[in-house]
Structure 1
């Protein structure tokens, strides 16, 4: 079955959530991007167009983490918001949140549509994005005109310069054959080691080295259920079953789009493993559509 690609280029987002998991800060979680695309699909369906957004790819063009490092500081501090004073003139209590400004392009796999349906879809998507919709908890400031294409080779050039986030769970699986602790396996790829070398004439040189080449980052890709499915008091949706869950984090890699051979290397999708209580966003490259 043939597929088209719905492309939303150069979305500028302000104050997106950079706290992607309880112990990582940086690029927003994949659950945030797939959740935003799911919300967009619901708006499209409510507008009368029955189309399914099957898979999603994310390409980052710019990223500005809102942190501050003062003169002589070793660590960075989160740039918080200045909340209004309370009635006593004191600062109110608030939860410190990590924020980022970024620019991304979204590539969404959709069924093949007719010409009139394509024009209708583009009009609904642009209207929805401009109607106070949020992405990764951030405000959408602007975006380029929406396009629909089936030519991934040409699309790769249009997505440059940028970095596509791809899953590198294979590296985690390889490391955990010798490191039973998942966090140690994750850190083994993220740690930067500095080596000093001194020549015979006393000259000193330093080298920085990582375990694996490429731009590897931790990425939150889903949730693991840690309680039975049931109901919860005072929940926003009393009709939907509830369970407590914890974040799942694995390795991802930022790659320039021209390095991708097929669009399947870019696209993420939902995958539920109910036997193991896993709710995932993952990449599967078993189907070849393009």
Structure 2
């Protein structure tokens, strides 16, 4: 249903995998993650409105025949990751914090992000692209100055934030005219461009079949860089005990079948963020309701717990 920039679940999964790889002696816990995209280059054919993925060639089978190809979108990304962390390590001096940040970056360089390889910045790159661990000052004024510095380091680029509030508002507006409208209708409405005819005096026509010659074609879409995004998973089955489902990846963890949950996101320039919480995503698992979702407080302008 969507393709392009990796889902935010990929970066939350990266954070959890990285947290497991950190040595206990580091005394650092990763809790939230934000992602800023500086450059995005999809591996697709160019020219015209129709695009196709540039696919890799799979090795031939044992009999010499060509193996089947599963279409898989790929892209080159240049991103910055911001982690919300906690732990006794934050009590160290600034020199020790820099060493910890370099160690975390070294561990991350050996991992994969959304199935892709990590190519870290070279040491000779400018100071903006070097890993750092910043301790939040208790003073509100001091912290605001720290955050302004962080925002400058993340420019130029765009941060992915949640706009679940736009989806809920659009659903309410649609139900005022169409009581049977669903969340999927609202999601599709926000995900597309609306092209409609309008008269010279600004009155929208129901259609272009009226025969009027003074019609102008206009494009209507929500303000901002709005995009449809996957934000988690919803349960399709009960939670099975560990080892009950054959060929499961992990036989020590409960298992359930799920489907993707979709929402609306927005790309926002970091200088427009009011607090660091607006940038960070957190995972929220509720096995009882079967919802495993990533959330971000940007739309509601509320602070994370």
TM over 0.5: yes
Q: Say if 1:126 and 1:145, in contact at 8 Å, map to a contact too.
A: no
1:152 is paired with a residue of what secondary structure? helix
Q: Distance in 2 between matches of 1:65 and 1:76?
A: 10
1:153 is paired with a residue of what secondary structure? helix
Aligned to 1:234: 247
The alpha carbon displacement at 1:85 in A equals 3.4
- Give 1:193-212 correspondences, 5 Å limit: 193-196=194-197, 206-210=217-221, 212=222
Q: Distance in 2 between matches of 1:288 and 1:276?
A: 21
Q: Distance in 1 between matches of 2:289 and 2:169?
A: 21
Aligned to 2:66: 91
- Give 1:38-187 correspondences, 5 Å limit: 38-45=16-23, 48-70=25-47, 74-86=49-61, 89-111=64-86, 112-115=90-93, 117-131=96-110, 133-143=111-121, 144-149=129-134, 150=136, 151-177=146-172, 178=175, 180-187=181-188
CA RMSD of aligned residues (A): 2.4
2:59 is paired with a residue of what secondary structure? coil
Q: Which runs of 5+ in 2 are unaligned?
A: 122-128, 137-145, 202-212
Q: Say if 1:29 and 1:219, in contact at 8 Å, map to a contact too.
A: yes
Which structure ranks higher in relative contact order (CA pairs < 8 Å, sequence separation ≥ 6)?
1
Q: Distance in 1 between matches of 2:236 and 2:62?
A: 41
Q: Distance in 2 between matches of 1:90 and 1:64?
A: 32
Aligned to 1:256: 269
Cα deviation per residue 1:244-270 (whole Å; 9 max; x = unaligned)?
000101000000001111111111101
117 and 44 in structure 1: CA distance in 2 versus 1, 3 angstrom threshold = farther
- Pick the structure with more strand per residue: 1
Q: Distance in 2 between matches of 1:137 and 1:162?
A: 22
Larger radius of gyration: 2
- Pick the structure with more helix per residue: 2
Q: Distance in 1 between matches of 2:236 and 2:158?
A: 34
Cα deviation per residue 1:46-74 (whole Å; 9 max; x = unaligned)?
5x212111111111111111222455xx4
